[in-house]
């Protein structure tokens, strides 16, 4: 490739995680990448905007960095996410005015090697020379200009056939990250280095030595790969991953704006990270050390690290009162939360759960989630407010043979045409106007009016208006589970 020509880079947004260490805010059906944790936008939106075409030049710096930056021209992103999150991902990208080149749906998580293989296969089919910028959708990067300069440097190394990772300059002796030891500088790209070694998470004593030596960087989990070279290295080092992903794509199918992988084929892919599968085995690994204000937001303690602190070292979000508290992270989503006389604590309050933890043990929150799953409790999976492609619903009260819900339907959206075998429904319009299909009739229902849907009656609820439609739904019957829905027609392609 001509060194003076711009190299387009395809960002690949990996959005398949569950963020269990950020429970109770992050849940299986609404994980951290879809939450506004570090700004007014969600983490997925921030990631997409960071590599959008509107980002423009990769910034200025030294002449070498500026020359490298000219290579980094971002193309339209490819998104890989869990099939359960498809409508969340699509809607949040739409709100950010980002139209992806595709959204590939994983029927189950198979770790990052499979996700990278899918991206390489999908992009290389159109452009085998493309560069893939692999970005987890749940990382925070505060210095966007420095990030884009680092991508520019990495692009030159990738054009030389290298598999490039981004090494974060360590600011403390961190024991929760893997490390990369850099070797000698690359001739092809000023600012890039050969990888001397990948190192597992160290002890504190070893981490302190790494920090003092100055040749080690944190392994960020972000990469820049030439698509064709990655495929060749996967064929060499992880052929089972590549074969399963190729079959899953070949046997997959388009579904609305999504691409569904073949579940049986994808299940054959070994669950292994791209680090273990390729990066630690290849002789083409390179690293670009960078200082970009990075954190993987892996636990509540990370949000304390990057948050705006008061004079006592506290980070507060929401309706919070502190008295005699120091170095705490306190977040309240809905309720007044008061914290008195504690230090180094994490306190997170949501509608259906409260977390209190020592900040130094924030990583252990995952153990609580594991226990909730083992006990079959719904608090590990979903919030009280459950999001659907048409809007959301929230259970307000449940009793013997009845349940009360609040439904919010977005303008122009509709629920599926459906019926129930075990429950009747009574709808009261609180705000907006509803178009209700009930059997053979269609009825407009306005604010402060109601309508009754008997058991077994085919029905549909629509919002034909310009404002959100709010409904109070009263269900009554012998069984009120969400699986008592027989969908006859659905614009979102759900069964």
Which CATH number do you get for residue 62? 3.90.550.10
Confidence of residue 422 (pLDDT cuts 50, 70, 90): very high
- Considering the domain architecture, whether residues 340 and 402 belong to the same structural domain is answered as no
| Residue 494 within a domain | no
Confidence of residue 334 (pLDDT cuts 50, 70, 90): confident
| Residue 437 within a domain | yes
- pLDDT tens digits, one per residue of 200-218: 999 999 999 999 999 999 9
pLDDT at 480: 93
What mean pLDDT, rounded, does the chain reach?
Answer: 92
SS3 312: coil
Give 2 or 81, the one with higher predicted confidence. 81
- Residues contacting residue 239 through CB under 8 Å, at least 6 positions apart: none
- Considering the domain architecture, whether residues 215 and 310 belong to the same structural domain is answered as no
- Residues contacting residue 215 through CB under 8 Å, at least 6 positions apart: 181, 182, 196
* CATH number reported for the structural domain that contains residue 460 in this entry: 2.60.120.10
| Residue 115 within a domain | yes
Share of the chain above pLDDT 70, in %: 95
| Residue 193 within a domain | yes
- Residues contacting residue 403 through CB under 8 Å, at least 6 positions apart: 395, 397, 474, 475, 480
- Considering the domain architecture, whether residues 126 and 59 belong to the same structural domain is answered as yes
Asked whether residue 64 carries a pLDDT value surpassing 60, the answer given is no
| Residue 483 within a domain | yes
Which of 59-73, 201-215, 223-237, 376-390 has the lowest average pLDDT? 59-73
| Structure-block tokens of residue 252 | 């997959």
Number of domains in the chain: 3
Residue entry with tokens 């949040």: 92
Nearest CA-CA partner of 113 in 247, 279, 287: 279
Residue where a domain stops, chosen among 271, 295, 319: 295
Asked whether residue 59 carries a pLDDT value surpassing 60, the answer given is no
DSSP-derived secondary structure for 406-448? EEEE-TT-BPPEEE-SSEEEEEEEEES-EEEEETTEEEEE-TT
Residue where a domain stops, chosen among 237, 269, 295: 295
pTM, rounded to two decimals: 0.86
Instruction: With beta carbons less than 8 A apart as the criterion, state whether 328 and 347 touch.
Output: yes
Asked whether residue 61 carries a pLDDT value surpassing 50, the answer given is no
- Considering the domain architecture, whether residues 185 and 113 belong to the same structural domain is answered as yes
- Considering the domain architecture, whether residues 37 and 86 belong to the same structural domain is answered as yes
* Peptide bond preceding 264 in cis form (omega within 30 of 0): no
Residue where a domain stops, chosen among 235, 270, 295: 295
Q: Domain residues for 324?
A: 300-374
Give 371 or 6, the one with higher predicted confidence. 371
CA atoms within 13 A on the CB side of 51: 31
Nearest CA-CA partner of 58 in 128, 6, 134, 100: 6
Beta bridge partners of 429: 471
Confidence of residue 88 (pLDDT cuts 50, 70, 90): very high
User: Looking at residues 119-133, what average pLDDT do you find?
Assistant: 95
| Residue 239 within a domain | yes
- pLDDT tens digits, one per residue of 226-254: 999 999 999 999 999 999 999 999 999 99
- Residue 122 burial (CB count, 10 A): 21
| Residue 379 within a domain | no
């Amino acid at each position: 490739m001509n060194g003076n020509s711009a190299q387009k880079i395809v960002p690949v947004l990996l959005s398949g995680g569950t963020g269990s260490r950020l429970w109770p805010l992050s849940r299986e059906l609404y994980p951290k990448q879809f939450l506004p944790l570090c700004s007014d936008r969600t983490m997925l939106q921030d990631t997409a905007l960071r590599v959008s075409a509107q980002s423009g030049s990769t910034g200025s710096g030294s002449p070498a960095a500026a020359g490298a930056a000219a290579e980094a021209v971002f193309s339209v992103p490819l998104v890989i996410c869990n099939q359960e999150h498809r409508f969340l991902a699509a809607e949040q990208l739409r709100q950010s005015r980002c139209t992806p080149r595709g959204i590939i749906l994983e029927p189950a998580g198979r770790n990052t090697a499979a996700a990278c293989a899918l991206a390489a296969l999908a992009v290389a089919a159109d452009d085998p020379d493309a560069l893939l910028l692999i970005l987890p959708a749940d990382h925070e990067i505060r210095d966007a200009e420095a990030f884009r300069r680092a991508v520019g440097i990495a692009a030159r190394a990738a054009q030389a056939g290298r598999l490039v990772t981004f090494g974060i300059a360590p600011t403390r002796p961190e024991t929760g990250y893997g490390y990369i030891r850099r070797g000698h500088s690359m001739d092809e790209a000023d600012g890039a280095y050969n990888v001397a070694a990948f190192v597992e998470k160290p002890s504190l004593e070893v981490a302190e030595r790494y920090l003092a030596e100055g040749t080690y960087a944190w392994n960020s989990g972000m990469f820049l790969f030439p698509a064709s070279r990655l495929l060749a290295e996967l064929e060499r080092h992880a052929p089972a991953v590549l074969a399963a992903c190729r079959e899953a794509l070949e046997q997959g199918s388009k579904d609305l704006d999504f691409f569904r992988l073949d579940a049986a084929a994808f299940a054959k892919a070994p669950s292994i990270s791209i680090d273990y599968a390729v990066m630690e085995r290849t002789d083409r690994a390179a690293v670009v050390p960078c200082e970009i204000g990075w954190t993987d937001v892996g636990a509540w303690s990370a949000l304390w690290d990057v948050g705006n602190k008061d004079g006592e070292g506290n980070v507060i979000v929401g309706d919070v009162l502190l008295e005699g508290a120091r170095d705490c992270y306190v977040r309240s989503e809905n309720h007044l939360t008061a914290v008195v006389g504690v230090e180094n604590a994490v306190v997170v309050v949501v509608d259906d759960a409260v977390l209190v933890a020592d900040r130094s043990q924030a990583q252990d929150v995952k153990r609580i989630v594991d226990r909730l799953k083992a006990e079959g409790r719904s608090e590990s999976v979903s919030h009280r407010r459950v999001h659907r492609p048409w809007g959301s619903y929230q259970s307000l009260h449940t009793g013997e043979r009845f349940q009360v819900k609040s439904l919010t339907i977005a303008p122009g959206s509709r629920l599926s045409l459906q019926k129930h075998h075990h429950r009747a429904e009574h709808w009261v319009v609180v705000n907006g106007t509803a178009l209700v299909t009930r059997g053979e009739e269609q009825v407009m229902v306005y604010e402060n009016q109601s309508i009754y849907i008997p058991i077994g009656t085919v029905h549909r609820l629509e919002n034909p208006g310009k404002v959100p439609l709010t409904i109070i739904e009263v269900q009554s019957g012998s069984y009120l589970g969400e699986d008592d829905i027989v969908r006859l027609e659905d614009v979102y392609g759900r069964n």
